[in-house]
Structure 1
Amino acid sequence: MTDDNRERSDDGTYSETVTPEDVLALFTDAEPRTATEVADELGIVRRTALSKLNELADEDRIHKKKVGGRAVVWWVSGNDE
């Protein structure tokens, strides 16, 4: 699925519409979320949500855990703030 209405930067690449900080802002409670839940809340595709979540995890700003099969949950611990 493509979004032909997305804006492009001066160099022709697509402009980022959702930042990692936008994703992080969803985690204001102690509830873990899936990539699908994050995507739905931000109105983006799951693949984009997963990319942002992985970026945050690589920076140790968010935690993730595989909970069975291919399911992964993401959360911010209260100790991180």
Structure 2
Amino acid sequence: MGDPGRKPTVSDEEILYVFQQSSDPVLTTSEVAEEIGIGRRGAFDRLRKLTEDGSLEMKKIGETGAVWWSPKALREQYSIK
């Protein structure tokens, strides 16, 4: 049985594409939410899930902030093997 709740309207691939297309090495939850057109809380939940499956990494900044990045996108952007 799948996850309860609303079906995602944005695919994981669309979220990861935001990181691939960004000129910034890290993005905030709000930046991703704005880019994909969903609420900040929904974006946070999706980013957390992508972190749990290893597609993204996250670092907490201050009390409530976080930045996210795609190791794969960084390797491609900077030609790192």
Give the TM-score normalised by structure 2: 0.72
Match of 1:41 among 32, 35, 45: 35
Matched, 1:76 2:70: yes
Which residue in 2 is equivalent to 1:15? Answer: 7
- Deviations, residues 30-69 of structure 1 (Å, cap 9, x unaligned): 5211111101011110111111101100001100001212
Unaligned 5+ residue runs, structure 1? 1-12
2:12 maps to 1:24: no
Alpha-carbon shift at residue 79 of structure 1 (Å): 4.0
Could you tell me which runs of 5 or more consecutive residues in structure 2 were left unpaired when the two chains were aligned.
none
Name the one with the larger helix percent. Answer: 2
Pairs within 5 Å for 1:58-77: 58-77=52-71
TM-score for both structures, normalised by structure 1: 0.72
CA contact (8 A) 1:66 1:73 kept: yes
Paired AA for residue 20 in structure 1: D
| Aligned residues with identical type, % of pairs | 33
Which structure: larger Rg?
A: 1
